[in-house]
Amino acid sequence: MTRAAPRLARWLTGSLLLPLAACGGAADPTRNDSAAAGPTPTATTMPDRVPEHAALPAPIKTTPSPEAQSVLSCSAERGQAAAQRLVKICTSVSPATHPPCNAANSCAIIEDEIARSCGLLGDDAAKTSGCAVDPKSDAAAANVIRRYYSAINAHDYATAWIQWGNDGRPGQRFADFQKGFADTRATSVTIGKMPPSEGAAGSIYATVPVTVDAQLDDGRRQRFIGHYVVRRVNDVPGASAEQLRWHIDSATLKAAGVSG
């Protein structure tokens, strides 16, 4: 790739090549808890802070975009019928009084609420029609990466952020995380064949091979290949529902070409 490579390539192939430790614990500040309030709040409402254990460098891009991109609604992304089917599943499993099960939100945040709710159900999730995927399975681990890129594609950076855990991506401010995608128009991810997940030190790790395609605002297209490692705490006594959920632990991606 030349020195004139777009910012997204430098950001992905720079900071994301470093192993990232997962974190969590804080309450989720990103959810739109009103089922009738309209689109989810834009990512700029996220707290601008760094976890205490942060040690990674800031991303290359440091200047803000001219204006925040609006979040793409689930209805606009997948069509009204598909969005309403997703909303129906969400409302059937969510224990929240006002869950973010709203077609005006991104599909990613609705799917995240479904995953969260099915995780809370534990072993009963398999008996619930809305929980098509066992929340402890490798398929659920792969879905974290699908939601991550679905959220990025919808410009719902707040939902993408919490796929790293409730405190977001360690070592990076949320504002810088969002700026890293300022030149990105659209993204998609293809999941490769996953090896069996492995346990170590009280956690379970799943490796998710990916091919990521991105289109920049200037029309150029980029491709990245590599893998994510997704982690959850093993079924140990005292583990919280959030700790038992899969979340991104680290990422290794490299540029595989630019066209356009």
Please give the pLDDT value at position 123: 79
How far is it, in rounded angstroms, from Cα 11 to Cα 58?
A: 9
For residues 188 and 30, which has the higher predicted lDDT (pLDDT)? 188
Q: At CA 70, angle to CA 111 and CA 78, rounded to 5?
A: 40
Poorest-confidence range of 16-25, 87-96, 192-201?
16-25
| Across 198-206, average pLDDT | 92
Please give the pLDDT value at position 190: 98
Please give the pLDDT value at position 69: 58
Q: Of the candidates 144, 172, 173, which has an alpha carbon nearest to the alpha carbon of residue 159? A: 144
Read off the pLDDT of residues 143-159 as tens digits, 9 standing for 90 and up. Answer: 999 999 999 999 999 99
For residues 211 and 121, which has the higher predicted lDDT (pLDDT)? 211
Pair 132, 139: CB distance under 8 Å: no
Query: What is the share, in percent, of the chain residues with pLDDT greater than 70?
Result: 73
Residues in the chain: 260
For residues 236 and 14, which has the higher predicted lDDT (pLDDT)? 236
Please give the pLDDT value at position 35: 33
C-alpha pair distances (Å), 103 with each of 33, 77, 89: 13, 10, 12
Please give the pLDDT value at position 222: 95
How far is it, in rounded angstroms, from Cα 42 to Cα 106?
A: 11
Query: What is the share, in percent, of the chain residues with pLDDT greater than 90?
Result: 59
Pair 30, 151: CB distance under 8 Å: no
Q: Of the candidates 178, 134, 142, which has an alpha carbon nearest to the alpha carbon of residue 160? A: 178
Please give the pLDDT value at position 21: 30
Please give the pLDDT value at position 150: 98
> Does the pLDDT value for residue 191 go beyond 90?
yes
The DSSP string of 157-204 is HHHHHGGG-TT-STTS-HHHHHHTTTTEEEEEEEE-PPPPPEEETTEE
How far is it, in rounded angstroms, from Cα 142 to Cα 68?
A: 29
Read off the pLDDT of residues 21-70 as tens digits, 9 standing for 90 and up. Answer: 333 333 333 444 433 333 333 333 333 333 333 322 222 222 333 344 59
**Domain at 7-24+72-259: CATH architecture:** Roll (3.10)
Q: What is the CA radius of gyration of the chain?
A: 18
Residue 225: burial class (beta carbons within 10 Å; 0-12, 13-18, 19+)? middle
| Mean predicted lDDT score pLDDT of the chain | 78
pTM of the model: 0.75
Read off the pLDDT of residues 8-22 as tens digits, 9 standing for 90 and up. Answer: 443 443 334 332 233
Read off the pLDDT of residues 101-145 as tens digits, 9 standing for 90 and up. Answer: 999 999 999 999 999 999 888 878 878 888 989 999 999 999 999
